[in-house]
Structure 1
Amino acid sequence: MKAKKFISIALAAVLTLGILTGCSSSKTSGSSASSASSAGSDEKGSVYYLSFKPEQEEQWKEIAKKYTEETGVEVKVVTAASGTYEQTLKSEIAKDDAPTLFQINGPVGYQSWKEYCADLKDTELNKHLLNPDLAITDGDGVYGIPYVEEGYGIIYNQAIMDKYFALDGAKAKSMDEINNFDKLKEVAEDMQAKKDDLGIDGVFASTSLTPGEDWRWQTHLANLPIYYEYKDKDVKDLDEIEFTYADNFKNIFDLYINNSTVEPKLLGSKTVTDSMSEFALGKCAMVQNGNWGWGQIADVDGNTVKEEDVKFMPIYTGVKGEEKQGLCIGTENYFCINNKASEADQKATQDFIEWLFTSDEGKDYVTNQLGFIAPFDTFSDDESPQDPLAQEVLKYMSNKDLYNVDWNFTTFPSQQFKDDFGAALLEYCNGNQDWNQVKQLVIDEWASEKALTK
């Protein structure tokens, strides 16, 4: 479908009062992001977006600058530091100049912020959703609109893997043979033993366990055991979990930390940037992350990995039938408009995100700067990111022979639960906790944190 052409707010400001009155007849709910005309003013309003992706800070600022130049509408972008979004939002939302645009990570996030979420069901952006079921709803209202689909798994360097496959005694001859945990473990441990021959420091990049940097493990990796427990019990959420697949989590986590560029006891000082740099510089063969991490590979000074060698592999943990498992694909990115903002600011914010995802210029930013796989019918098949990781995600999404793993971590009880899980993983790596203690903490804190939301 062709994108709806964006009508600039600057033009709207000089329309006649009669036209404005006619526009105000469009249906809105009491808490929805309503039109500037309903405010009885030609005020342009302004936008304040609180972003949670530090790796895309510069791109969002460029978008804001361009939109302001084009429309005269001020767009401010503030990016929360890694792992601090909820805390930052709590601080910013209480200010007079509060964010007009923020995001929640799913149903649990909505429960925390529903007091501030405008009803977006009558917005153009909501009408363009390819799958309306993805939206965060409450009754007949829509309070969070997903704006990107993403995928994560184990990113690998095909050139290093090919070098290994060519060695005498290699445990596999191609990536096609690595389709379960047992084979991945066999290959990874053999590669670690032959790391000098391969010219690497370790098979896996360092496992970043610095507080605030540990989301790849206490959230993304933890998604897999929860996904399989939900699947077994045919549920979408649980007040209490048994952590049935705890040992599967341990399987892959141990493989990461014991076949890495650094010793396990050093992981408390490592960041995501560190691990992505290790991959980009060819110091390791694999790293767990998502397609959003492409910029953290491509933009590293001295980058040695070629674009055509950057590939994805599913995260195998030893679950029965995982030969048919694909990537973890979903979203935790839902736009919300602050219903406490002025009507003019709500309208300006609505217009900004509609421009971004429906105009030709906005879509170019979405596809080629942000690298988003957008879930809207305004994007044609050829308007998709061309970077290798996004292309890999699209390949897995279209592979009907595989099942992809849903993002169930949006049902995790709280940020506190995730932080405590991450801290326990660090203590495990340091040798201060055994695995049973980590497992019990997850079970107990899941139940106690869920109870707090009741």
Structure 2
Amino acid sequence: MKKILALGLTAALSLSLLAGCGGGTGTPAETGSAGTDAPAAETGSGTSGSVYYLNFKPEQDAQWQELAEIYTEETGVPVKVVTAASGTYETMLTSEMAKDDAPTMFQVNGPVGLNSWKDYCYDLSGSALYGELTSDDYALKNGDEVAGIAYVIESYGIIVNQTLLQQAGYTVEDIQSFDDLKAVAEDITARKDELGFSAFTSAGMDSSSDWRFKTHLANLPIYFEYQDKGITSTDAIEGTYLDNYRNIWDLYINNATCDPAELTAKTANDAVNEFTSGQAVFYQNGSWEYGNVVGEGKLSDADVTMIPIYIGVGDEANQGLCTGSENYWCVNKNASAEDIQATLDFMYWCVTDETALQAMTGGEGAMPSGGAGMAFAIPFKAAPESSNPFVALDAQMTADGKTPVSWNFTTMPSEEWKNVLGSALAVYAADQTDANWDAVVSAFVDNWAAEYALANG
């Protein structure tokens, strides 16, 4: 979510991991923006525009490039996909939006991001794409306008190599709380040399990996504080559960494949390689990581499962995975009418065409090229069930009465807030003193209030 430099402070504040798209008001091309009951315009039928999609997810770059080529071959409409490197989306979006050839299709992560980008978001409320949503809950709104549409629902937790866990003498049924997780992890650490593996993968704190902890792990204390107060956002977080945040962070970094002082040099690739090569039992990540841990030369479906991230709060026996979306498609209302229409047609094709749907929801061999699909769960009427077992696991947990943990990190005040928190976590990891943890608390609580105060004038 960054936009033109003129967005100033608001833009800086909305740098939330994904980007936030704001509701837009433009109504350029009426064709293809018909009411939800009206048929969508045929993709490519007479459309003279083009599509430029700035993609947030580097792990799905290959699939989007292939889909873009297929669509262009079928319709003659040029589709360019550019993918930002991990942790750089905000910066890249701001830079690209300042150009004459700006993205026509981009992403935001929720309400905070929307606050920065709302002046660039085309109103999708009359689009055929909006009519394909299975629930209005997946629409990101700016007043009466639909500024963005969630295109994937994801879950994250702790991915478990249950084959190694069994070698250590446990099953996932033995882990139903933070205390259980701590006991198992510390026992594995005590027998590390005997077992030949560690409890956790490295918690890398470079930009390719630190989002797992300054954003996704940090969601847990935010979620439980919001639950206590019955709110969905706040200008002043109290940090009620930051001791619990410290406990889970200590568990990760002190029972891992490397010394905590080495974390600033560890990357996302290090963590996934440690996991797939059998060096660690536990790996915090999400359903989007399925294709990176399962497949030829990796692990099998039988090897892996996912458990909730327990931090010692709430009804842990009935806690589910962290489930939600920070991936909202938005259309640049400042693009030409032809490009807006071309983009609306492409998005509609993505969620209704059989080949595109298979690419988005399928796993191994789902792409026309024979490559793996995106294995997404997508909230559209024509979508088949995702082939991703982590997605199925989340659905089963919910059916069994476990409560999913909602994604509240989209209310974090800015990307800068996350970066300051991440730096404090890394310093603490290298020297685990109370004074250094106090700096983490200050980064979490004081910076939250300060950034919201600046944003609110």
Within 1, Cα distance between the matches of 2:30 and 2:67?
Answer: 23
Ranges in structure 2 where 5+ consecutive residues have no aligned partner: 1-23, 34-44, 363-372
| Counterpart amino acid of residue 241 in structure 1 | I
**Structure ID, larger Rg:** 1
Q: CA deviation at 1:30?
A: 5.7
Query: 2: distance between equivalents of 1:249 and 1:180?
Result: 14
Map residues 271-310 of structure 1 onto 2, 5 A cutoff. Answer: 271-298=267-294, 302-303=297-298, 305-310=299-304
**CA distances 1:340-377 after superposition (whole Å, capped 9, x unpaired):** 00011001001101001012121111111111101112
Displacement of 1:134 in angstroms is 2.7
Equivalent of 2:179 in 167, 179, 182 = 182
1:421-450 per-residue CA deviation (whole Å, 9 max, x = no partner) reads 111111111218521221122111101111
2:54 and 2:82 in contact (8 A); partners too = yes
CA RMSD of aligned residues (A): 1.8
DSSP-derived class of the 1:218 partner: helix
For residues 317 and 378 of structure 1, the distance between their equivalents in structure 2, rounded to whole angstroms, comes to 37
Q: Distance in 2 between matches of 1:137 and 1:49?
A: 21
Shift of 1:211: 3.3
Contact 1:33-1:337 within 8 A present in 2 as well: no
Q: Go from structure 1 to structure 2 and tell me whether the alpha carbon gap of 1:33 and 1:176 turns closer, same or farther (over 3 Å shift).
A: farther
1:157 deviates by 0.7
Residue 338 (structure 2) aligned to one of 344, 347, 351: 344
1:66-120: per-residue Cα shift (whole Å, max 9, x none)? 1111111111010111111111000000101100000000000000111100000
Q: Give 1:421's aligned residue.
A: 421
User: How far apart are 1:266 and its partner, in Å?
Assistant: 0.4
Other structure's SS at 2:225 match? helix
Deviation at 1:43, TM superposition (A): 4.8
Alignment-derived partner of residue 17 in structure 1: none
> What 5-or-longer segments of structure 1 have no aligned partner?
1-28, 166-172
Is 1:47 the counterpart of 2:51? The answer is yes
Name the counterpart of 2:117.
113
Partners of 2:184 and 2:448 in 1: how far apart? 35
Tell whether the 8 Å contact from 1:294 to 1:387 is kept in structure 2 after alignment: yes
For the Cα contact (< 8 Å) 1:153–1:314, is it kept in 2?
Answer: yes
Residue number in structure 1 paired with 2:7: none
- The separation in 1 between residues aligned to 2:328 and 2:47, in whole angstroms, is 27
| Aligned-residue offset at 1:42 | 4.8
- How many percent identity over aligned positions? 47
Q: Secondary structure of the equivalent of 1:142?
A: strand
Match of 1:31 among 26, 29, 46: 26
SS in 2 for 1:217: helix
Give the direction of change, closer, same or farther, for the CA distance of 1:124–1:296 in structure 2 (3 Å limit).
same
Corresponding position of 1:440: 442
Distance 1:230 1:278 in 2: 35
- 1:293-337 per-residue CA deviation (whole Å, 9 max, x = no partner) reads 1122136x742x222111000001011321211100000000000
Residue pairs, 1:7-86, within 5 angstroms:
31-32=26-27, 34-35=29-30, 42-86=46-90
- In the other structure, the counterpart of 1:133 is 137
CA contact (8 A) 1:36 1:42 kept: no
TM-score, normalised relative to structure 1 = 0.87
Deviations 1:45-83 (A, max 9, x none): 000000111111111111111111111111101011111
Q: Secondary structure at the match of 1:356?
A: helix
CA distance in 1, matches of 2:255, 2:25: 56
List structure 1 runs of 4+ shifted beyond 6 angstroms.
Answer: none
**Aligned residue identity for 1:388:** P
Amino acid at match of 1:246: L
User: Which amino acid in structure 2 is aligned with residue 140 of structure 1?
Assistant: D
Provide the residue aligned with 1:388 in structure 2: 389
Greater Cα shift, 44-53 or 434-443: 434-443
Match of 2:42 in 1: none
Deviations 1:192-245 (A, max 9, x none): 111233221x11000010135310001000001000001111111100011100
Contact 1:117 1:336 in 2 (8 A): yes
Using the TM superposition, give the Cα deviation of residue 154 of structure 1 relative to its aligned residue in structure 2, in angstroms.
Answer: 0.3
Structure 2 residue matching 1:434: 3-state secondary structure: helix
Decide whether the 8 Å contact of 1:49 with 1:102 is kept in 2. yes
- TM-score scaled to structure 2, two decimals? 0.86
Name the residue aligned to 1:198. 195
Amino acid in the other structure paired with 1:308 = A
- 1:402 matched residue in structure 2: 402
Alignment of 1:214-293 (within 5 A): 214-293=210-289
What amino acid is the match of 1:428?
Answer: Y
Q: What residue identity is the alignment partner of 1:74?
A: P
Q: Deviation of residue 414 (structure 1)?
A: 0.5
2: CA distance, partners of 1:336 / 1:429 = 38
- Distance (Å, rounded) in 2 between the aligned partners of 1:398 and 1:122: 33
